[in-house]
Chains A and B, each alone.
Chain A
């Protein structure tokens, strides 16, 4: 029922009203895509703060797919708690992520699944900790777990670990003149810093270290800089398909250096965008569908969604399982604090995929650490350096 009713005769302002309505609808569309209203006391709200729009909007789709797959496996009611997914769009932009996390916390979620982009996590860590709500991230920047927050849990190994391993591999393969290019996002900068640190740790000083803007269309200047540096390997650290586009423009300029990268260069988007340029590329991977241990999961994903799951899909699945397994151990009312404590105590085998257990910093104790390559258009495992758990 409305609180007030105008007695004035209606005046026609269709165009202005129309514009305001459109603006209001768009503003609503740019913000939360869910509501926090709860109807049952046994419902537990999980805030999905992931990119549903923007350059990595695919992550949002992966998160939803992973959640549905996890619910199929574990059911949508765990230990008497009915799980409710509430979606918020982080857009892979720190400012949007801060807004999204505030909205999620305001909606009384007991856990945040995401943010996923490193810069967004760094911008929202403190808010989650202050609200005593666990933040379960799929991001890689080492800083994320180095800020003494008790409420942060990371699914993959940090890029410090993954890039140090890749650097060792490149050294063992005989590369000595390595160029690095990274994008300017929080993720890209951490990638750049950690691969440079990893290379220096094995005695290699990069012959070039460049940055580029995410989503850039023309890399010919950067590619020429690599050419002039005489690099025998070029590590491209950023989001897909930028890295593939960069690799393509390197080849166009006649640079035949070995391409090295993160797992993004093995994603379908990269393989489709520049198949010849990424063929033979080496990359680090915290997950590879080609690895036998992941086969049941990969098959289940393919059966449900008719696509090959990539790293983000796997990390979202692990995130969902982390919340579900922690909920299984809780008695009484679920709060963020209790759930956080339960996550810290987890030590669970996830269907043979990995063991879910976390160090004091919130990093995984048993991460998958692989080096892969693109062979005949498909990502393959070259070396498995995962710690035994």
Chain B
């Protein structure tokens, strides 16, 4: 039996889970504030670099990842408070433009601190692949997939089943109403960006060992994550995961059956198609985008 296509799907699902994790970062901040954080990819890079830093000061790898995620999360929350929130009253587009500046600033900061030479962090689990039922998989791929699922499901539970999550939804729908209900939007704005930072940083630690750490490593991941979030439905964590997998699988199949030259075009084509046919994305709520524009 020809396993080329099933293997492409399997490899795509594994790669797409990390795109999904990055996509959730976009979704969480957008869901609460309406701001698309263009610097999300650079938060991925920052997470990987801070993991490297944690290792260099003697922390065990899992601890280094947790510390990196907390620093990136806290840092992003502070940036939201100081640099983005003052712009909300002019319209979210100003805050979005500000995140473009944040993206460039983060790349420059990384290069300034760690230099332009690529660095490497180790894997949490072995990267060597094995064959199972004719398919090639590595423990690292399985681990990344499971961890991404756990984190995203945790995020879904947080957003759907807790007071904080419901508060975020209320704030997203109507900030004035939320205030009348005793919800403090400012705290939830901070939390949304901090959570996005944490998820992006974990994605950085997961992909860093395969990717190599460079100041610009976040750029392609940011694009893939954003595309995943839009395909899945901006604001929907599960949608971002599904979007990441759809994107990666579609790209792999395009390489196999069309030509690799169309791989990038396919990603953007898919994005445009989804926006045309189902603007709210595969799992997005109808009207969610319209409310913000």
Q: Which of B91-146 contact A (CB under 8 A)?
A: 98, 101, 104-105, 107-108, 111, 115-120, 127, 129, 131, 136, 138
A79 interfacial by beta-carbon distance below 8 Å: no
Cα A337 to Cα B232 in complex, Å, equals 59
In the complex, the answer to whether A217 meets B118 with C-beta atoms within 8 Å is: no
Chain A residue at minimum C-beta to C-beta distance from B259: A210
Cα distance A309–B14 when bound, in Å?
Answer: 37
Among the 9-residue stretches B71-79, B147-155, B208-216, B269-277, the one with 4 or more Cβ atoms under 8 Å from chain A is: B208-216
Q: Is the Cβ of A273 less than 8 Å from the Cβ of B253?
A: no
Q: Which of A212-247 contact B (CB under 8 A)?
A: 212-213, 215-218, 220-222, 224-225, 227-228, 240-241, 244-245
Give Cα distance in the complex from A19 to B220, angstroms: 27
Which of the residues B111, B118, B215, B254 comes within 8 Å of A221, measured between beta carbons?
Answer: B254
The answer to whether A213 touches B111, judged by C-beta atoms less than 8 angstroms apart, is no
The contact string, 1 if C-beta is below 8 Å from chain A, for chain B 39-51, is: 0000000000000
Known A217-B207, A218-B248, A220-B12; judge A54-B86 contact (CB<8 A).
no
Whether B260 contacts A211 by the Cβ 8 Å rule is: yes
B253 touches A221 (CB 8 A): yes
Interface string of A115-134 (1 = CB under 8 A from B): 00000000000000000000
Decide yes or no: A228 and B256 within 8 Å by CB, A217-B207, A253-B7, A269-B118 being known contacts: yes
Chain B residues positioned under 8 Å from A55 (CB to CB):
214, 216
- Whether B221 is near chain A, meaning CB under 8 Å from some CB there, is yes
Query: Does B171 belong to the interface (CB within 8 Å)?
Result: no
- Is residue A202 contacting chain B, with contact meaning CB distance below 8 A? no
Interface centre among A26, A213, A224, A228 (most CB of B within 10 A): A224
Q: In the assembled complex, how far is the CB of residue A19 from the closest CB belonging to chain B, in whole angstroms?
A: 7
Inter-chain contact B117/A58, CB cutoff 8 Å: yes
A88 sits at the interface (CB 8 A): no
Q: Closest residue of chain B to A223, judged by CB?
A: B11
> Which residues in A have their C-beta under 8 angstroms from that of B221?
217
Known contacts A53-B111, A248-B210; is-contact A221 B260 (Cβ 8 Å): yes
> In the complex the two chains form, what is the Cα distance from A252 to B7 in whole Å?
12
Closest CB-CB distance, A355 to chain B, in whole Å?
A: 31
Question: Does A217 lie within 8 Å of B211, measured CB to CB?
Answer: yes
- A89 vs chain B, min Cβ distance (A): 11
Residues of B within 8 A of A30 (CB): 104
- In the assembled complex, 11 residue pairs joining A and B whose CB atoms fall closer than 8 Å, in A order, are A53-B111, A57-B215, A218-B11, A218-B15, A220-B252, A221-B8, A228-B4, A245-B210, A272-B212, A273-B118, A273-B210
The 10 closest A-B pairs by CB, nearest first: A221-B255, A57-B116, A220-B11, A221-B252, A269-B118, A218-B15, A273-B212, A272-B120, A241-B212, A252-B129
Since A218-B248, A245-B211 are in contact, a sample of 17 more A-B pairs with Cβ atoms closer than 8 Å, ordered by chain A residue number, is: A26-B104, A29-B104, A53-B215, A55-B214, A60-B116, A217-B207, A217-B210, A220-B12, A221-B11, A221-B251, A225-B260, A227-B4, A241-B211, A248-B210, A251-B129, A268-B118, A273-B211
